[in-house]
Amino acid sequence: MSRCIRLLIGFDGTAYKGWQRQSHAPTVQATLEQGLSRICGHGVTLHGAGRTDAGVHALGMVAHFQTTVTHPLRAFVKGVNSLIPADIRILDAAEAHPSFHSRFDALGKTYRYDCCTGPVQEPTTRLYEAHFPGQLDQRAINASLQHLIGTHDFSSFEAVGSRDPAARGRGAVRTIYDARLKKTAQARYSFFFTGDGFLRHMVRNLVGTLILAGRGTISPARFAAILTSRDRKQAGPTAPARGLFLETVYYDRHTFPFRQQQS
C-alpha cells in the first residue's frame, strides 16, 4: 500500500544551487532524494512546497513523497539524516493523506530577510544576512510596506524572464497578508513577508527596493508607483540570496489567520 510521507526540512543553502534538482550542480532536492532512495530501497521523487534560489536558506520547508515501504516515521528522520550532509536536516516526518501535495495544498508562506547596517559585518554572520551599511529610515520603509498588503500584480518585483508570459494561471498576481520590518538588535533588521505565493526573486527584489526607501532615495509614494507600474526596470536591485529564509509554510486554516482576515 502506498504511503504519502510529509517532511519538515531545514537547510543552509550556502553550498547548494537552490532547491530544484539539476543535472550538474548540487541541490537540496537531489541530496534528499538520494538519502530517501537509500532508506526506501527504491527511487524517490520529492515534491517541495516551492523552489528556493542558490544560497537561500530554509527553517520550515515542507515536502512530500510516495513510498510502499513500512518503515516507521523515525527512519525517514534519523536514517536519512545519517546519510546526508549536516547542512540539510529532516526535522520531522508525518503520514499525510494520499492526496496531499506540499505545493498545491499550501495556504501561504512566510519569508524572512535578515540584514545588518553596521559599518563592518561580523564574519560569522556573512552567510546568513545581507550587509547594507548606513542608516535606515524605518518609518519610510514601514510606510512603503503598507502598499504591499492586499492582492496586486507584482511584475515589478519578478525576475525578468522567470515565467513564460503565455503560460496559463494567475500571472504575477499574488496576495500579501503581512509585510513588516523588525529591528532585532543594534544595526540588525528582519523583513517579514507572508503571502499566498511568491514569484522568483520577489522577496529579494522587494527588499532591494525597500532599502532605497530606507535610504531616502525613493519615497513611499514612489514605491507605490513602482508597484503599480508592473515594470521591473523601475524597481531596485536584487538583494543577496544569503539573507533570505523560508520560515513557514501554512496548511492548517486554524493556524493561518491572515487568510481568514482576507475572506
Domains of the chain: 3-96 (3.30.70.580), 108-262 (3.30.70.660)
Q: Which whole number is the average pLDDT over 179-198?
A: 96
* Each residue's pLDDT tens digit, 48-68: 999 999 999 999 999 999 999
Cα pseudo-dihedral 155, 160, 164, 166, rounded to 10: 50
* Each residue's pLDDT tens digit, 91-147: 999 999 999 999 999 999 999 999 999 999 999 999 999 999 999 999 999 999 999
Three cell numbers, residue 97? 493523506
Given this model, what pLDDT does residue 255 score? Answer: 78
**Cβ atoms of 65 and 94 closer than 8 Å:** no
Q: At residue 231, does pLDDT exceed 90?
A: yes
Spot the catalytic one: 53, 92, 178, 231.
53
What percent of the chain has pLDDT above 70? 95
Please tell me the distance from the alpha carbon of residue 55 to that of residue 52, in angstroms, as a whole number: 8
What percent of the chain has pLDDT above 90? 90
Given this model, what pLDDT does residue 167 score? Answer: 53
Residue 53 among the catalytic residues: yes
Please tell me the distance from the alpha carbon of residue 21 to that of residue 244, in angstroms, as a whole number: 20
Given this model, what pLDDT does residue 263 score? Answer: 44
Given this model, what pLDDT does residue 258 score? Answer: 76
Q: How confident is the prediction for the chain on average, in pLDDT?
A: 94
